[in-house]
Each structure stands twice: as C-alpha cells, then as structure tokens.
Amino acid sequence: MSYLLKKTLVAALRPLAIVSDKLDSIGRLWANARLNSALGGNVHPSVVVLNMPELHGTRQITLGNNLFLYRDLYWETQESGRISIGNDVVLSRGVHLVAYSEIILEDGVMIGEYSSIRDANHQRSAEGSVRHSGHVSKPIHICRNAWIGRGVTILGGVTIGEGAVIGANAVVTKNIPAGAVAVGIPAQVIKS
C-alpha cells in the first residue's frame, strides 16, 4: 500500500475511530453498571471495569474504591466463601479468584495476567469421582501493596506479607513474609 493511499484511508476512517472510542467508553460504563447490579449496588463509581467479570456462586464479593479491573476476570464464591478486595487494587486480564472459605486482597495489591488464586482443593474418595468428593478450603490473605506476577498460582492457607513480590509463574504453597521476593515452583524466598 502506498504512503499516499494509506494516509488518505487513515484520514477517511478517523471519524469512525472517534465513534469507536466513544463506544468503548459506553461499554465500560455498561460493564460497571452490570457489575454494580450483580453485587447489590455496592460498586463505587471510582471502579474502572473494562468488561463484566464472569461471576459464579453466591456472589459474596465486596469491592473497595479506585479499582482497575481488566477483561476476562473470573470470580467464584461457593459455600461460605467470600472475596474481599480493598482500595487501589489492580486485577489484570484473566485473573481467577475462587473462594470456598475466604480470599482477602488488601489495599494496593496488584495481580498480573492469568494468575489463579483458589482457596479450595478437591478431596479424594475411593467411593466416588474427584468431582463429587467435596473440597477442603483454607483462607488466602494477600497483604497491602503485594505484587503478584503474571501467571502465579496461590493455593489455600497462604498469607502473602505486605509489600511482598511473587515472580511470574510461581506456585505459592506456603506463607511469604512481608517485603520478600519469592519465585519458582514451589515458590521460595530469594530476597528479604
């Protein structure tokens, strides 16, 4: 494509691009309204919702202010499970939160793309399938200003301390102290 033709087409399409930008803004407002309705009217106007999270279960979910919620989020609460998200939290694209007990994300937590935070694990039974054998759950607590890298898995019973950093693709099976950096499978502290 010649430079002149490309320049002409870009100029001709500019009005459509402006309309598209406006439609994106309306889409974010619609997603915010849908989430607000789904959670009983308790979503603060400061929350940015790029598209409606996929919600399953009891919807026992509380949200703080000034959140940034990317696309393709999956939130599930089952049995007595609750999800509590503090202020100034960022949940990147594709983050999964599944609570049968409790997941707490304190203020300022940032979670990278496609991370999975699940407080329950399937039980095993000789009599039946894994699917119908129930769950064992333990709360997960991620303290203020912790940074969870891309693709991290956090399992039940874990507390991640204030300001801790979890490296990309780590699997966190035990507590991580405040201010520590942890990486690997299973996650190990490499810096305090």
Domain span at residue 132 reads 3-191
> Does the pLDDT value for residue 190 go beyond 90?
yes
Can you tell me the distance from the alpha carbon of 6 to that of 176, in angstroms, rounded to the nearest whole number?
Answer: 53
Q: What is the pTM of this model?
A: 0.88
> Does the pLDDT value for residue 25 go beyond 90?
no
* Kind and range of the H or E run holding 75: strand 74-77
Can you tell me the distance from the alpha carbon of 29 to that of 106, in angstroms, rounded to the nearest whole number?
Answer: 25
**pLDDT on residue 109:** 98
**pLDDT on residue 14:** 80
> Does the pLDDT value for residue 133 go beyond 80?
no
Q: What is the CATH number of the domain that holds 178?
A: 2.160.10.10
Number of domains in the chain: 1
Residue 7 binned pLDDT confidence (cut-offs 50, 70, 90): confident
pLDDT digits (tens, 9 = 90+) for 29-75: 899 999 999 999 989 999 999 999 999 999 999 999 999 999 999 99
Q: Report the sign of the C-alpha dihedral through residues 126, 132, 137, 143, in that order.
A: positive
pLDDT digits (tens, 9 = 90+) for 96-132: 999 999 999 999 999 999 999 999 987 777 777 777 7
